[in-house]
Amino acid sequence: MSQVKFQKTYGISSEEGKSIIQTQEGNYVFAGYTNGFGVTESILLIKTNPLGDTLWSRAYNHSGFNFLVTRMKQTADDGFILTGNIIDTGSYIRHICLLKVDGNGNLQWSKRYYGTSQEESNSVQQTTDGGYILCGYTSSFGAGQRDACLIKTDATGTIQWQRTYGSIFNESGFYVEQTTDNGFILSGYVVDTGASPMDILLIKTDSNGNLIWNKKIGSIYDDNGISVQQEVGGYSIISTTQIYDITFVPSLYSKFDLVKVDKNGNLIWARRFGEFVLAVNDGCKFGRKTNDGGYVLTGTPTGCPCSSYLIKTDSNGVINWSKTYGMNGDWGANDIIQTIDNGYIMAGSTMVAGPNDIYLIKTDANGNSGCYQNNGSFYDSIIVLAETSPTILIGTSSFTETLLIPSTYSGCLTNTICTSVPASISEHFNPSSILLLSPNPTTSQLTIQTQDLKLKELHIYNVLGELVKQSSIPGHPSSCIIDVSDLKNGMYFIETTSETARLRSKFIKQ
């Protein structure tokens, strides 16, 4: 079956995509952050159609705070729930935030949860009773320096119960899911002695957050359970692994593991993944189970010409295929989902068009996106991990809960890098190309390049959307040089047109 493929960027100033979902009607909604509204960072939420064309965008900003999102999910009323952190720009103290918006991105309510020190939320899910479950860490409550925590709220974000899980050292929660028995499964990390490495922490609770069992799973290196998913008969965990080897430069580098446990957390098998070049960082950011029973993983390696990867495995974690994407190490992936057409879509960030933009890559079922990709060179190997049940103390935290009243903004530019739409979806498709600007920033001249399009006109707008410069391009070349020395210092948006496409990008005049 033919499948939609594209690579697109979305931005205003400096952005990063953190979480993406596909709605039931096939559209995409992704969340991240932006510096494009005011002096602080804002949460950015964008909805597109199945071709990646923007339907609407919303930004949520709070004066005096950086507003950062970590995870977003669709809710039963076709709205969205977002969690993350609100950081005081004066004290840099970090607290937990939760935002509920409707299907058009309009803010319905937002909450802030905090103690006397640092807190962080890394995951959220709507529960079967219409409320929400959040997981992260707290340094304000619990048994040690930092404890993993769960917060259960009702449908309006009012706390129903809150629990901490920890020892005298450090624990943190990175992902939570409600299980079929209405309890919860949490993954993260634990450091249970001062000299030991970090290990995967897996906690199973009942519906009220009471501990049923817990497991510590790990190697001689640092392991962190960044996601967990319930399966038939057990759970699958994706973990990052920091390896230390003085025979390589750099001596500290990362690989990642896929771990399968039974319903009681007992280890069944584990596989490690990485590039064949050992001293390369292959930091995994997220992974999910696929419709065929296998798994898909994505992340951002360093030390190679590529800048993100997609790995597809079978149900035993054996690699089926792998792909890398990007130009000159220019983009990183943070999240991935399997799409309705059995392809995949990844969200992250890129610098291909100047300052960071959110980057989406939509692939077919074999990981093909249409441009700037290569076959990967990753290995998988069976590994032996240690498994114990450490002493975890359960406590009750006392977060203060307050309303947040953020400001809401709209506006975002989209740039198409490449796209492929089957005729059954669109009978009239004009391919476009990436618009490359250099130098960026610039003081006087700006070189505009495309892959294959003949440029006819250009328009330059300031950040208020006002047209400040326009001209026709003689001869319709695929590249040209323009003089922008007469523009004031600042950021500008440039739009060029050809016979078949319209391209947009941004640049900074210094």
Per-residue pLDDT of the chain (510 residues; tens, 9 = 90+): 468 899 998 887 788 899 999 987 789 999 999 887 776 888 999 999 888 988 889 989 888 888 899 999 999 999 999 999 999 888 889 999 999 999 999 999 999 998 889 999 999 999 999 999 999 999 999 887 899 999 999 999 999 999 999 988 899 999 999 999 999 999 999 987 656 688 999 999 999 999 999 999 998 888 899 999 999 999 999 998 876 554 444 445 678 899 999 999 999 999 998 875 555 566 778 999 999 999 999 987 665 545 788 999 999 999 999 998 876 556 788 999 999 889 999 999 887 655 688 999 999 999 999 888 889 888 888 888 888 888 777 887 777 777 777 777 666 777 777 787 765 444 333 334 456 788 878 899 998 887 667 788 888 887 556 789 988 888 888 888 999 999 988 777 788 776 655 677 777 788
Measured CA to CA, the distance from residue 52 to residue 489 in angstroms comes to 32
Q: Which CATH class is domain 431-509?
A: mainly beta
Return the beta strands (E) in 107-251 as ranges. Answer: 107-114, 119-126, 132-138, 147-153, 159-166, 170-178, 184-191, 199-205, 211-218, 222-231, 234-244
Residue 241 CA: distances (Å) to CA of 9, 219, 220: 30, 9, 10
Residue entry with tokens 């079956």: 1
With vertex at residue 178, the alpha carbon angle to CA 176 and CA 183, rounded to the nearest 5 degrees, is 110
Domain ranges of the chain: 1-115+399-418, 431-509
CB atoms closer than 10 angstroms to residue 471: 12
